[in-house]
Structure 1
Amino acid sequence: MRLTVFVRGAVVLFISGLALFFANKIMSSKEKLHKVNFSQDSKVKKPSCGMEKHCPVDQFSFRIISGSASVVGPFICFNGKMLMSNVKNNIGRGLNIVLVNATSGELLVTDFFDMWTGDIKLLLAFLKPIKLGTILLLASFDDPATKMTDEVRTLFSELGSSLIHDVQFRDNWIFVGAKPIKEKSPFEQILKNENAKNKYGNWPEAVEMEGCIPKKLI
């Protein structure tokens, strides 16, 4: 009787040990699989600010929407952070501009310049000191061009704009440039103010753009 009890106990212990062994194996395999999947997922940033595009970790994401007529202001998002919008209450008629560090993505400054009744000298004073290794993001609102001068257009051209000389009264314009830049920026759109095509009476519909900008390595 005692021998039978002993044998049964040994069998139970053996089965329990075997079950524990396989359970540990399965958990270890799952953990390894989880680590592999995490490593693969980490190669691409998750989209943010309503973006559809995924950006690699060595690039900054951005999304820009111009203003709509003179009612809805523009929207500028960079590296997952909303930097200018109606919600933040830091936008205005004219040109809305963000400057960020091209290496770290750190926000340097946001500002807007009234291109209808404002002082163009303020925009010149803002653009001229832009340092090397800086990314500029811009969205127009209402009117981007009434106060525009040839000197200002040249400065934007040096930042990579290829459409600046076409920007006119109440056009919608969005642009991402940098200093320095060897070629014209691929991140620029303009929608002309044409009465026959305008969506909002005297204004065209908003323009929108998103993309990925390689980080500048020092």
Structure 2
Amino acid sequence: MVRGKTQMRRIENATSRQVTFSKRRNGLLKKAFELSVLCDAEVGLIIFSPRGKLYEFASSSIPEVLDRYKRHTKDKVQPDQIQSVEDIQHTKQETASLMKKIELLESSKRKLLGDGLGSCSLEEVKQIEKQLEQSVGIIRARKMQVYREQMERLKEKEKTLLAENVMLREKFEGLEDRRKSSRQTEDVICISGGGSDKSDVETELFIGPPHDSRITRPLLN
């Protein structure tokens, strides 16, 4: 019958946990001592109790064992550690290259501004002059292009304003024509309406009997 493996867990009772720690610690220290003596092995053991108390054993001394451990792990660097070291070295090289490029750019900038030309040879000065002439040519070409673009925009704006001016003038002339036509119509109405009033209305005052063409003289009493 095969027994199942017992799962190890933390001892919850503080007293039992302390008793177990003392027993297992003493047994571990004893085994380390026996291993170092029986097998002539260099052993180093460090234990910290739950309360932070230090227990240690070393066949020679703890610092010597730690130094030997560091030398051993340094000689056996893991592949991922090797890659990390290579990446760091590559980053350092790139950083140095970028710093050198920045210094060259700063020096070139100062020379283009006319500073630091004392150490330049005749060929270097000619090269700088050529670069400046090329830069000036490019700047002037860009300036002329900007001028042309502005002129085109102004011409388009002028066309728009002229079209608006023509439209407003036509609108104004139409209003004037309608106003003149309205005035002429009012004048015609006034003239025709005044003649009709004079023919229909009697303006003279007559006192006496009505006029008869058969009476030639007044009657005498």
The TM-score, its normalising length taken from structure 1, stands at 0.27
Q: Kindly indicate whether structure 1 or structure 2 has the higher relative contact order, using CA contacts under 8 Å at least 6 residues apart.
A: 1
More strand by share: 1
More helix by share: 2
The TM-score, its normalising length taken from structure 2, stands at 0.27
Q: State which structure, 1 or 2, has the greater radius of gyration over its C-alpha atoms.
A: 2
